[in-house]
Structure 1
Amino acid sequence: MAVKDFETSKEGIEIQFATNHIGHFLLTNLLMPKLEAASPGARIINVSSGGYVLSEVRFDDLNFEDGKSYIPWLGYAQSKTANILFTVGLAAMLKKRGIYSFSLHPGLIFGTNLGLHLDEESFKVLAEIGLERGFPTLVEDERPKSLSEGCATGLVAALDDSLEGKSGAYLSDCVIETPMEYARDSDNAEKLWLLSEELIGQKFSY
C-alpha cells in the first residue's frame, strides 16, 4: 500500500500492481478447477479499497514511465481498480458455471502491516490527490475500523445468501455500492484480463 519508492517484481511489473492484482489473477485462475469442483455456489472475493477512486488502470503506462513519474498512491489506486475490474470479468465469465465473485472495500484499518509505508506526509499527499480527483474529504470520510469491523464486509461477501444473483458487485460497509464507471466497465474488464494474460504469459478462458 503506497510503497514509497518505485519497485518492480522480478518480471518487471510495478510492485503494487504485481502484488495486488497480477498475483491474485494468476492464483485465482490456477485454483479454478477446485472452484468448479465446489460449485455451484463457490465465491471468489477480491479485497479492493475505496482508494480506487484515485486512479484508473493505466493501461498504456502501468510502470509510470519506468518510475520517472511514480506516485505511490496512484500505484496503489490502479491496483485496487484492477481488483474491481477483475471481479467484473470473473462474474461475466463464470456466471454459467455457478461461481460468483465480489469485490469490497474493508475500510480504514490500522494495526496491520499493510500501512508500513505510511506516515503523516503520506496522508497529506492522499488528501491532495483526493482533492484533485474531486474527493475533497476523502481522508476525513473514513472512520477507522477495528480489526473485527474490518473483517465484516469480507464475511458478508463470502457468506451472505442475499448476494445470490448479484455476482460482480462491489461492497462497502457490508452493503452493495456502485463503483465509478471506469471500475465497472465491461470493456475495461476485458482489456485488463487480456493485459494480465500477456504479463504472465498464460491464457485462461471459461
Structure 2
Amino acid sequence: MTGWDATRIPDQSGRKAVVTGANSGIGYVTARELARRGAVVVLACRSAARGRGAAARIRAEVPGAEVEPADLDLADLGSVREFARQYARRHGALDLLVNNAGVMALPYGRTADGFETQFGVNHLGHFALTGLLLPRLRAAAPGARIVNVSSGFHALADIDLDDLDPLRGEASYRRWTAYGRSKTANLLFTHELARRFTAAGATITAVAAHPGYASTNLQAGASRPAGRRTFTSRVMALGNAVLAQPASSGALPTLYAATAPGVEQDGFYGPRLGWRGAPVRSWRAKWTLDDASGARLWVVSEKLTGVSYASLPR
C-alpha cells in the first residue's frame, strides 16, 4: 500500500455507499472520490441545507456524479431510524457504510435521547445506524464493508463501561477524556462486529481508519467551545497551518479501508507517520482489541439504543 492515493481507488460502478458527515472535511472528500469512481453515494448530513450544498459541489467537481443528500442527525435516534427506513425504501442493498461523522471535545451536553453528546454521536448513533442498515448490507453482493472512522486520540482513554454517563452530569466531565473514550468505542465496536461477522461466516468486512492530523471543521468545536478565541484555539490554528495535512490527504485512510483489495477484517488504517502520509496499518491501544470489553460494550449499546443485531448473534 506504499504511496497509495485516490487514483488507485478501484472502480466502484454499481456500488452504493452511505457516508455520514459528508458535507465537509474528510466525509466530503470520501463521498466525492467514491462518486468519482462510479459509486452512488448518499450524503448523510445533519443539516439538509449543507447536504444539498455538498451534493451540488460534488456534481460541479465530478460531472455525472450520482450523489443524494439525506437527513441524518446522529444525536437523535429517531432521526437515525427514519434515515434507515428511507434508505431501504429508496435503495435496497448497501455495499459500503462509512461511519465518518463525529464531534470532538465539546463542552458537556446531551443528545436528544439523553446521552453524553460525544459518546451519543460518535458511538451510539453509528452503532444504531449500522444495526438498522445491516439487512441492507447483507442484501448486497459479497464484499460489503463498514468503515468506522476513529482517531489516534483513542489512546487518551480506555472506555469505562461502568460509567457511560448518561446521568452523572457535568461535574465529572472531561471533554478530551470523553472524546478518547468515544473513539475507543469506535474501535471496540469494529472489533466485536468483525468477530461476529467471522463467527457467522458473513461476507461483510468491518474495518476502522483514522485521518491523522487533518485540517477540518472538527477542530473548531474543540478549540472554541464557547465561540470565543482561546489559547487552545490559537494553538490548533497554528497546528492546522504548519503541521496538518489537508482533508484530501486525511481522507485517504478511510478511502483505503473502504475500497482497497486486501483490507483485513478488524484492520485499523492511518497515515504512515501517524499524523500524515499515505495509509498503512496503524498502531492501536491494546484495550481496543479486548474481546470481553467489546462484548460488554455491544450489550450496553443494544440496551441504550434499542437496536438489536438479531441477525448477528454472538
TM range (shorter): 0.7 to 0.9
Q: Give 1:48's aligned residue.
A: 150
Letter in structure 1 aligned against 2:206: S
Q: Is the 8 A contact 2:132 2:307 kept in 1?
A: no
1:28-75: CA deviation from partner (whole Å, max 9, x where unpaired): 111111111113110000000000000111211122832211111111
Distance 1:58 1:39 in 2: 37
1:85-126: CA deviation from partner (whole Å, max 9, x where unpaired): 11111111112110001111111122x321222335447999
Q: Per-residue deviation at 1:143?
A: 4.0
Distance 1:200 1:18 in 2: 9
1:124-156: CA deviation from partner (whole Å, max 9, x where unpaired): 999xxxxxxxxxxxx9xx941111101110111
Counterpart secondary structure, 1:162: coil
Q: Relative contact order, CA 8 A, sep 6+: which one is greater?
A: 1
Distance 1:39 1:90 in 2: 19
Counterpart secondary structure, 1:191: helix
Q: Is the 8 A contact 2:157 2:184 kept in 1?
A: yes
Matched, 1:9 2:111: yes
Distance 2:203 2:141 in 1: 6
RMSD of Structure 2 on Structure 1 (CA)? 2.2
Counterpart secondary structure, 2:269: strand
Bigger-Rg structure (1/2): 2
Q: Give 2:15's aligned residue.
A: none
**Distance 1:124-1:178 versus aligned 2 partners, 3 A rule:** same
Unaligned runs of at least 5 residues, structure 1: 127-138
Distance 2:123 2:222 in 1: 20
Q: Give 1:37's aligned residue.
A: 139
Q: Is the 8 A contact 1:39 1:97 kept in 2?
A: no
Runs of 4 or more, structure 1, over 6 Å off, are 123-126
Q: Give 1:102's aligned residue.
A: 207
Query: Taking structure 2 as the reference length, what is the TM-score of the superposition?
Result: 0.56
Q: Is the 8 A contact 2:131 2:308 kept in 1?
A: no
Which residue of the other structure, out of 26, 42, 48, is the alignment partner of 2:128? 26
Q: Give 2:304's aligned residue.
A: 199
